[in-house]
A and B are shown apart, each in its own frame.
Chain A
Amino acid sequence: MAEVRSDGNESEKATQNIELVDKEQAQKPTDEKTNTSTTPKETKTKIDVLLKAAGDAPIMKKKKWAVDANKTVAYLVEFIRKYIKCAASDSLFLYVNQCFVPYPDQPIQNLYECFGADGKLVLYYCKTQAWG
């Protein structure tokens, strides 16, 4: 009996492994699709920006905003500061891809073109340096 059980367990593990592999394989083609897609994104006048709080930064009630494509990062930071009532003496950091801080004079259009996905640009804000 004991042997049978262990056999059963092993085969269970095996199927789990297969499932994982299958998932990876299934994901690959879609990944490649997004990677190689060279179709230029539509030039929009307004860009959907999703603002997410990180660390101890207060959450914004409304997270999704349509931002003028020509506005800069500095404008957006100022907007968030006002919205979450961030004191002038406090820092506010904005991150792209949870990885780097964009230049303040970077137009939102550029960020969307380079780092946007699924028709929107996701940005994280926090009051202490969260990444890098």
Chain B
Amino acid sequence: MADDREVLRILWDGRIPVCFTLNADEVVALEEPEPFYLLLPRVSYLPVVTDKVTKHFQRAIKPDMNTSSIWFDFNGQPLKWHYPIGVLFDLYGSNKSLPWNITVHFEDFPEDEVIRCESKEVVESYFMSAVKEADSLKHKSQIINSMQKKDHKQLWLGLNNDKFEQFWSVNKRLMERSGDELFKHIPFRIHQCDKLFMQKLAKPVNEAGESLTLKHLMMETLPTIFSNDEDFQSTRIVIHGIEPPLETPLQWLSEHFSYPDNFLHLVLINKEAEM
């Protein structure tokens, strides 16, 4: 793991340029507010990094508006803040049109699609739940349960404060191999536009002890989409904005390419739909 530490750092530093615009219908100020530009960390969550956005637009909306009801959409698609920003961008955004244009709303919260987020504590509890779920897949919860409350807090604070060292000094315990022992299962989620995400049990090796790869994972979990090599030509498998080689071993991918919530968030993009 130590040899590839640089990979962790590069993924942690991934940023997306975003242009925030207030929904025109909600402007009560005489002048429309200027758009607001930010470089958002891919591995973080919208409510963690958008305090400045709220402040910027607050002057332009109804003065009695509760700003904790803030939500975001891209092209009419409400963005689920409980997924990392990088996942949302890989799902809906495109490298061909940057900055990513996100519309800011304070009214008409889309209850059916987005979870209410009154405070950062809500984000923290969703984040920690995901970490716990991931460790129950990897180590039957043994590592996360052996940690102290302050370690859990440090994971969150590291992410919240964008402090790589602070986060990884605890996270490495969740990611390190103990001797030759691999993860029991690989925590992953597969996201596709307009579909519920998919999650299954997947082991890093087969019964003969041979390493399984990203290609195996896809063919196992989505046999209807990936049945032959041609299928891999028509669909892109994206994580952190990158298409990893299909031969990448799952164990390595899980150790290095997981988001801070310890899940591999793979986004599938149909190439034809992109044309």
Contact = CB atoms under 8 A, between A and B. Distances in A.
Interface of A: 35-36, 38, 40, 70, 72, 96-97, 99-107, 110, 113-115, 132
B137 A100 contact: no
B141 A97 contact: yes
Given A99-B136, A102-B129, A114 B199 contact: yes
Contacts of B196: 70, 72, 105, 107
Interface of A is mostly: loop
Given A35-B184, A105-B80, A100 B199 contact: no
Task: Give the 7 A-B residue pairs with the shortest CB-CB distance, closest first.
Answer: A100-B132, A110-B199, A101-B129, A100-B133, A107-B196, A113-B200, A100-B129
Interface of B: 80, 82, 115, 125-126, 128-130, 132-133, 136-137, 141, 184-185, 196-201, 203, 206-207
B199 A106 contact: yes
22 contacts: A36-B207, A38-B203, A70-B196, A72-B196, A96-B136, A99-B133, A100-B132, A100-B136, A101-B129, A102-B129, A102-B133, A103-B129, A105-B196, A105-B197, A110-B197, A110-B200, A113-B199, A114-B185, A115-B136, A132-B128, A132-B129, A132-B132
Given A38-B207, A107-B196, A114 B201 contact: yes
A123 B126 CA distance: 18
Given A35-B184, A97-B136, A100-B133, A114 B200 contact: yes
Contacts of A40: 200
Contact of A99 (B80, B141, B198, B203): B141
Contact of A103 (B130, B185, B206): B130
A96 B203 CA distance: 20
A101 B149 CA distance: 17
Given A105-B80, A107-B196, A113-B199, 19 more contacts: A36-B207, A38-B203, A38-B206, A97-B136, A99-B136, A99-B141, A100-B132, A103-B126, A103-B130, A105-B197, A106-B199, A110-B197, A110-B198, A113-B200, A113-B201, A114-B137, A114-B201, A132-B128, A132-B132
A106 B203 CA distance: 21
Contacts of A114: 137, 185, 199-201
Contacts of B200: 40, 110, 113-114
A38 B207 CA distance: 8
Contacts of B197: 105-107, 110
Contacts of B132: 99-100, 132
A33 B112 CA distance: 41
A38 B206 CA distance: 9
Nearest to B220: A40
B263 to A, nearest CB: 10
A93 to B, nearest CB: 10
A101 B125 contact: yes
A104 B82 CA distance: 10
Question: Which of B126, B133, B197 lies at the interface centre, i.e. has the most chain A CB atoms within 10 A of its CB?
Answer: B133
Contact of A104 (B115, B133, B136, B199): B115
Nearest to B132: A100
A2 to B, nearest CB: 46
